[in-house]
Structure 1
Amino acid sequence: MRRGGPVWTGQRATSGTEMEVEVWRGSGSGGPGPGSGSPSPAPSPPGLAALARAAELLQVRRDFRGALAACRCGLEPGGAEPEGSGSSTLRPGDLKSSLCIMGIQALAELNQWDQVLSWVLELYQIPEKIPAKILQMCIILYSKVGEPGRMQQAVSSWLQCWASPSGVGCGAGLVLELYLLHVLLPLGLYAEAEELILDTAVLTEQQRGAALRVVAQRRPEQLEQEQAGSRSQVTEGCSQNRHPARNALFQLIQQVLGLSWRCLHLVSLRKLILAVFLAYLLIVRLDPASPAALSWLASLQHFLRLMWNTMFAPYYKTRIGK
């Protein structure tokens, strides 16, 4: 698909269903997630320089390839690891996750969204080590491009590790919500969604009940959409079977128009205008009584005018040959 044009907007879209699920979202869903640690000394200058360079190229200059190259340079071994001494507000995993987030946006802007998940897994080796905020971005990105199934295995493995009472503060609640709304339900996996809601330890009883109601509400809606789509396909098939000659005529007209359009594209506009102007002078403006007029042009002009009058003149002026 292009899926053409930039697909990542940097903001999370909300819907009516998501507003309904706000009831059961965990209070600690915006935590740092796995991959973060205790505060450490200031990051090394190369890592911060790569981060600043990537931000400038991405947001100011709109040079997405340069921003991606800067992120990869900063994520090289030793580039994103804090070293030295001093005080800093950055934790060990913050610099790496920030460069990864900018790289994801650069890949999306370059329409290389299919490489996002593999690139993230290359950085973190296994899904369980991916920070929650990066996993949330990946879920929304693949949902926007219509490929939610690509995230199913990675998010399922992540939730098996972090969907526990100890993972409430690391963003597991929001990951679970996005996984249900943007992966399982669009794929029609209602049984898997209900099983996940019942087995997870992240949700409270109130949140669990609200999530089950959302699944129950989405199930008939999707079934109705599938039935409506099947009925429209059956109707189109019946119309084609009832009027095969008409459909064949429409296809022939479409092919002729397409061929004419392609032929017009092959001819330059200047030559086409010149040809139309010469035809106008020869057919419309040529005086048949002029000595310069050729006999075949005069005959052609007379024939075209007679045909025009016969086809488009009012009925009381039309001449019908006997």
Structure 2
Amino acid sequence: MRNDLAAPPAGINGAGGCLRSSEPVSLSPVPTEAASLLEEAVDLLVVHMDFAAALDRCEKGCESLTSDPENEDCDNSAETKCSLCIVGIQALAEMNRWREVLSWLLRYYQIPEHLPPKILELCILLYSKVKEPHVMVEVGRDWLTNLANQSLPMYGSLVDLHLSHVLLPLGKFGEAEELVQGCKTFGKEQQLEALRTVSEKSRQWVQQQEEGQSKPEEQQTTAREKLFSSVSHKVLTLLTVLRRVLGSVAGHVCSIPYKKTLLAAFMLYLVVVRLDPAAPTSLPFLYRLIQLFHQAQAAVFSPRYRPPVQG
């Protein structure tokens, strides 16, 4: 058995380490039942790693203290109750039931303002590690604005913890400034340093928001550029193929003799324009055309044709 709970482990999945309170939890002489249940809970948590059984012992110990009002008002009983709750928080965290921590604590403390400073500290660290600091916004506000809590020795350190782990990560800079300005435990230099930190975090937050808005526009521009590049490549490929086809057709046409091409075009004109060459009005025209064609053929293609020699 262990006689103290200086730093109970808290292996939360994805939390990245153990949760530790800034002050050790010591066991003072207390009623026998609660003390024995606390020792059993610590042994089950640390040695046997039976988290469900450790939580059960913590609940029984808290209920035994709550059922006796005289013991509950005793300082030793309050310290034992706090220790039992810290072990219970660790057990819930080990079982990945950290979402139940606050509701479980309020079964024994009724309202957030009554939570001991060490338990509030552990809750802030817990929900910060699991990336859900918003759970502690109202709880921390209620506790820190309570006049009775502002006289406690840990009040200043809890203000720092609430600022750095809850308000600033959530972008609640107005509330953070009000908390710093209303903290009477801060000296002038400490208050100015805290306000500078809030201002710097606010500037970084605005910059991150602007960068986050510009990234989608940059991604859209890049997508348009990629699409335009792809379309341009396809168009260029199509034009290249078309140029090759036209070049091939032009080469084929140019390979046909010019005179034969002209003659074929002329005959095609006769067939197309003169839709009915057999009509009587077309016969004189065709007859004269045939004569001219034979004369041109005899004059151009006859091997006996020789141009006159000039003397």
Normalised by the length of structure 1, the TM-score is 0.59
2-structure distance, mates of 1:178, 1:97: 20
1-structure distance, mates of 2:46, 2:200: 40
Is residue 221 of structure 2 the alignment partner of residue 212 of structure 1? no
Is residue 215 of structure 2 the alignment partner of residue 228 of structure 1? no
Deviation at 1:80, TM superposition (A): 8.5
Deviation at 1:106, TM superposition (A): 0.9
Query: Which residue of the other structure, out of 20, 28, 32, is the alignment partner of 1:11?
Result: 20
Is residue 95 of structure 2 the alignment partner of residue 95 of structure 1? no
Deviation at 1:105, TM superposition (A): 0.8
Is residue 151 of structure 2 the alignment partner of residue 167 of structure 1? yes
Amino acid at match of 1:217: E
Q: Deviations over 1:4-43 (max 9, x none)?
A: 456661237xxxxxxxxxxxxxxxx9699xxxxxx9x942
Amino acid at match of 2:100: Q
Is residue 31 of structure 2 the alignment partner of residue 44 of structure 1? yes
Q: Deviations over 1:143-176 (max 9, x none)?
A: 1111111111111111111477x6142x111111
Is residue 48 of structure 2 the alignment partner of residue 61 of structure 1? yes
Root-mean-square deviation (CA, aligned residues, Å) is 3.3
Amino acid at match of 2:46: Q
1-structure distance, mates of 2:39, 2:57: 9
Please say if residues 168 and 176 of structure 2, whose CA atoms lie closer than 8 Å, have aligned partners that are also in contact.
yes
Deviation at 1:127, TM superposition (A): 1.1
1-structure distance, mates of 2:109, 2:15: 25
Deviation at 1:228, TM superposition (A): 2.6
Please say if residues 168 and 202 of structure 1, whose CA atoms lie closer than 8 Å, have aligned partners that are also in contact.
no
Which has more helix, going by share of residues?
2
Residue 113 (structure 2) aligns with: 128
Please say if residues 8 and 141 of structure 1, whose CA atoms lie closer than 8 Å, have aligned partners that are also in contact.
no
1-structure distance, mates of 2:67, 2:36: 10
Report the CA distance shift for 1:174/1:162 in structure 2 as closer, same or farther (over 3 A): farther
2-structure distance, mates of 1:184, 1:54: 34
Structure 1: any 5+ residue segments left out of the alignment? 13-28, 33-38, 247-322
Residue 182 (structure 2) aligns with: 199
Deviation at 1:58, TM superposition (A): 0.8
Residue 146 (structure 1) aligns with: 131
Query: Which residue of the other structure, out of 60, 63, 86, is the alignment partner of 1:76?
Result: 63
Q: Deviations over 1:270-312 (max 9, x none)?
A: xxxxxxxxxxxxxxxxxxxxxxxxxxxxxxxxxxxxxxxxxxx
2-structure distance, mates of 1:9, 1:100: 16
Query: Which residue of the other structure, out of 160, 168, 172, is the alignment partner of 1:177?
Result: 160
Residue 186 (structure 1) aligns with: 169
1-structure distance, mates of 2:139, 2:65: 26
Larger Rg: 2
Report the CA distance shift for 1:181/1:220 in structure 2 as closer, same or farther (over 3 A): same
Please say if residues 104 and 116 of structure 1, whose CA atoms lie closer than 8 Å, have aligned partners that are also in contact.
yes
Q: Deviations over 1:224-276 (max 9, x none)?
A: 22223333333333334555699xxxxxxxxxxxxxxxxxxxxxxxxxxxxxx
Deviation at 1:207, TM superposition (A): 1.5
Higher relative contact order (CA 8 A, sep 6+): 1
2-structure distance, mates of 1:44, 1:82: 13
Report the CA distance shift for 1:66/1:245 in structure 2 as closer, same or farther (over 3 A): farther
Amino acid at match of 1:132: P
SS of equivalent to 1:91: helix
Report the CA distance shift for 1:129/1:208 in structure 2 as closer, same or farther (over 3 A): same
SS of equivalent to 2:146: helix
Identity %: 37
SS of equivalent to 2:19: coil
Q: How many residues align?
A: 216
Deviation at 1:123, TM superposition (A): 1.4
Residue 280 (structure 2) aligns with: none
Structure 2: any 5+ residue segments left out of the alignment? 1-11, 230-311
2-structure distance, mates of 1:162, 1:8: 33
Normalised by the length of structure 2, the TM-score is 0.61
Deviates more, 1:129-138 or 1:199-208: 199-208
